[in-house]
Amino acid sequence: MDMGSECVTMVIAVVGSRTFTDYNTVCKVLDNYADTSDTIVSGGAKGADSLARRYANEHGLKLIEHLPDWKIHGRVAGFIRNELIVDDADVMIAFWDGQSRGTQHSIDLANRKHIQVHIIKDRSTK
C-alpha cells in the first residue's frame, strides 16, 4: 500500500461556552485549519458547539457529535462527553468565557493528553 497517496488530516475538537455566539470568529479560527482538517468533533450543546456544527455543515466537513446521555450517566454525563471529545481530537479550539466549568474540564483533559489547545476568549462577557 502506498502510504504517500493518503491524506492524513487532523480532527479538530471545538468546545466552548454555551453563551458564545460569535460565528464570524468561529469561521476565522476554523478557516485556519481548512488545509489540514476535514473533521470537527464537538458536544452538540448550545453556543460554541452549535456554531461548530453550522461551520461543518456549511463547509462540507465531517462532524462527530458526542451528546451527553443524561438518563444513563446522570450529572456526570457532560464530563463523560468531554472525555469522548478529547479522545477523538488532535487539536482543540476552546471558545471560552473564562467561567464555564465544562469548557475548563475539556481544556484540562486535553492538556493532560498533550493535545494542543487554542483558547479564544469570549469578549462579549466580562
Burial of 69 (0-12, 13-18, 19+ CB in 10 A): exposed
Instruction: Encode pLDDT of 24-75 as tens digits.
Output: 999 999 999 988 999 999 999 999 999 999 999 999 999 999 999 999 999 9
Instruction: Encode pLDDT of 101-123 as tens digits.
Output: 999 999 999 999 999 999 999 77
Provide the 3-class DSSP secondary structure of residue 34. Answer: coil
What value, to the nearest 5°, has the Cα angle with vertex 110 and ends 27 and 75? 95
Judge contact between 63 and 86, C-beta under 8 A.
Answer: no
Cα 48 from chain centre: 8
pLDDT of residue 60: 95
- Is the confidence at residue 18, as pLDDT, over 80? yes
Q: How far apart are CA 102 and CA 104, in angstroms?
A: 5
